[in-house]
């Protein structure tokens, strides 16, 4: 099956700044993928390239089997909603109408539902919307378009917790009813963890983690307790970090635990906590040989839908 997105050796250089370097991955459809990374890691640049809005310096980008750049046949099947999305200098209803002109699967009912849920007045000029309301408008357009490939760049910017929960619920419901390929770039990976099939982590323009979320869960554990007990417990295991303070220590350990490990931890009075996706992403950025990374310590993973 042709993956929805296929990227190989992708690079983008701006004069003295390497925004992306040798990025390679495939994403199948249907799937929901999280694109994670610090500010300036290259997430938006990658999404803009996927949407044909930016140019590559090197490498190959295919979307639905063809290059997206100036390719109407590909572009009309996708949509990128950006954090700093620019709209027509008109009213909310005009932005919604504009999207409905372009996308054949546009769901006007869903758009109305979302506008009501986010309390977005259709007659309000877009330039008078708050940041959160602009974000909500982007979510409305992004979901109601039902594009075969939907790219959301930081879709929660300016949204409060209630609105974010609404977004997750709507995304999940709509994705379940209409499976397609969705890519979210986000800082709040744990909030969206239940939605994600897969996580890509970018750090300084390089892809440092590419793994299915099911494969990632439980692959690293935080061990906390008396210093000597922690050191005894992690001895001989791959340790990603170890911090000692007084008589207490905190270690992050790679590898899955079995029942005997847990019994030993109980015996040593240690507390065990699985790393969240967010913590795994941070570790992946800091230690490129973290679990799930394309390194000798972890098996390369591909999206289960690829």
Partner 1 sequence: MRTTALVTVARYLLLDRVTYVVLPWAWGAFGFAIDVVILRLTPAGDTGQRWVGGLAAVFIVVFSAGVQTVARALPFALTLGVSRRTYYLGACALALAMAACFGLVVTLGQAVERATGGWGLHMAFFRVPYVLAGPWYMSWLTATTAFALLFVYGMWHGLVYRRAGMTGTTIFGGAQLTALALAAVIATWAHGWTSIGHFFTTITVAGATGVLAILVAVMFAGGFATIRRLTV
Of the ranges 29-37, 76-84, 174-182, 232-240, which one interacts with partner 1 (CB under 8 A)?
76-84
Give the H or E element holding residue 190: none
Residue 11 or 255: which CB sits closer to partner 1?
11
Q: Hey, which residues between 85 and 144 contact partner 1 (CB under 8 A)?
A: 85-90, 94-95, 97-99, 101-103
Residue position matching structure tokens 């983690």: 209
Looking at 4, 23, 80, 265, which residue binds partner 1 (CB under 8 A)?
80
3-state SS, residue 87: coil
Q: Hey, which residues between 144 and 173 contact partner 1 (CB under 8 A)?
A: 145, 147
- Total count of residues recorded for the chain: 306
Cβ atoms of residues 212 and 228 within 8 Å: no
Using rule CB under 8 A, residue 283 touches partner 1 = no
Q: In whole angstroms, how close is the CB of 40 to partner 1 at the nearest point? A: 17
Phi, psi of 304 (to 5 degrees): -65, -20
Looking at 79, 133, 202, 209, which residue binds partner 1 (CB under 8 A)?
79
Number of residues that bind partner 1 (CB under 8 A): 33
Using rule CB under 8 A, residue 76 touches partner 1 = yes
DSSP letters for 250-288: EEEEES---HHHHHHHHHTT-EEEEPPHHHHHHHHHH-T
Using rule CB under 8 A, residue 82 touches partner 1 = yes
3-state SS, residue 302: coil
User: Could you tell me which residues come within 8 angstroms of residue 139 by beta carbon, excluding any fewer than 6 positions away?
Assistant: 81, 114, 118, 152, 155, 167, 170
Of the ranges 23-31, 53-61, 196-204, 212-220, which one interacts with partner 1 (CB under 8 A)?
53-61
In angstroms, how far is the first alpha carbon of the chain from the final one?
A: 8
Q: Hey, which residues between 207 and 246 contact partner 1 (CB under 8 A)?
A: none
Q: Is the dihedral of CA 108, 110, 112, 118 positive or negative?
A: negative
Residue position matching structure tokens 């983008």: 12
Of the ranges 80-88, 109-117, 165-173, 195-203, which one interacts with partner 1 (CB under 8 A)?
80-88
Of the ranges 15-23, 71-79, 220-228, 295-303, which one interacts with partner 1 (CB under 8 A)?
71-79
Using rule CB under 8 A, residue 177 touches partner 1 = no
Of the ranges 18-26, 29-37, 48-56, 214-222, which one interacts with partner 1 (CB under 8 A)?
48-56
Q: In whole angstroms, how close is the CB of 14 to partner 1 at the nearest point? A: 11
Looking at 11, 18, 40, 48, which residue binds partner 1 (CB under 8 A)?
48
Burial class (CB in 10 A: 0-12, 13-18, 19+), 295: middle
Cβ atoms of residues 221 and 257 within 8 Å: yes
Residues of the shown chain interacting with partner 1 in the complex, contacts defined by CB under 8 A: 48, 51-55, 70-72, 75-82, 85-90, 94-95, 97-99, 101-103, 145, 147
């Amino acid at each position: 099956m042709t993956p929805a997105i296929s990227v190989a050796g992708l690079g983008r250089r701006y004069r003295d700044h390497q925004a992306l370097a040798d990025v390679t991955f495939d994403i199948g459809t249907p799937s929901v993928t999280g694109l994670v990374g610090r500010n300036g890691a290259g997430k938006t640049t990658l999404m803009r390239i996927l949407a044909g809005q930016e140019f590559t310096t090197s490498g190959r980008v295919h979307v639905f089997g063809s290059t997206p750049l100036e390719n109407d046949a590909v572009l009309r099947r996708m949509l990128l909603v950006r954090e700093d999305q620019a709209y027509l200098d008109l009213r909310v209803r005009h932005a919604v109408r504009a999207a409905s002109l372009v996308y054949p699967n546009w769901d006007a009912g869903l758009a109305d539902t979302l506008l009501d849920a986010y309390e977005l007045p259709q007659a309000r000029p877009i330039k008078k919307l708050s940041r959160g309301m602009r974000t909500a408008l982007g979510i409305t357009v992004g979901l109601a378009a039902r594009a075969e490939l939907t790219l959301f760049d930081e879709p929660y910017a300016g949204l409060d917790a209630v609105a974010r929960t609404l977004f997750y619920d709507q995304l999940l419901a709509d994705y379940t009813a209409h499976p397609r390929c969705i890519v979210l770039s986000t800082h709040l990976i744990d909030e969206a963890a239940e939605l994600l099939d897969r996580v890509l982590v970018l750090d300084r323009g390089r892809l440092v983690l590419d793994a299915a979320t099911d494969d990632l869960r439980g692959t690293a554990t935080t061990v906390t307790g008396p210093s000597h007990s922690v050191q005894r417990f992690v001895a001989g295991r791959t340790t990603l970090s170890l911090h000692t303070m007084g008589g207490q220590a905190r270690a992050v350990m790679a590898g899955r635990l079995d029942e005997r490990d847990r019994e030993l931890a109980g015996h040593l009075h240690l507390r065990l906590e699985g790393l969240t996706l967010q913590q795994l992403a941070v570790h992946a950025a800091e230690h490129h040989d973290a679990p799930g990374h394309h390194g000798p310590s972890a098996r390369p993973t591909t999206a289960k839908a690829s």
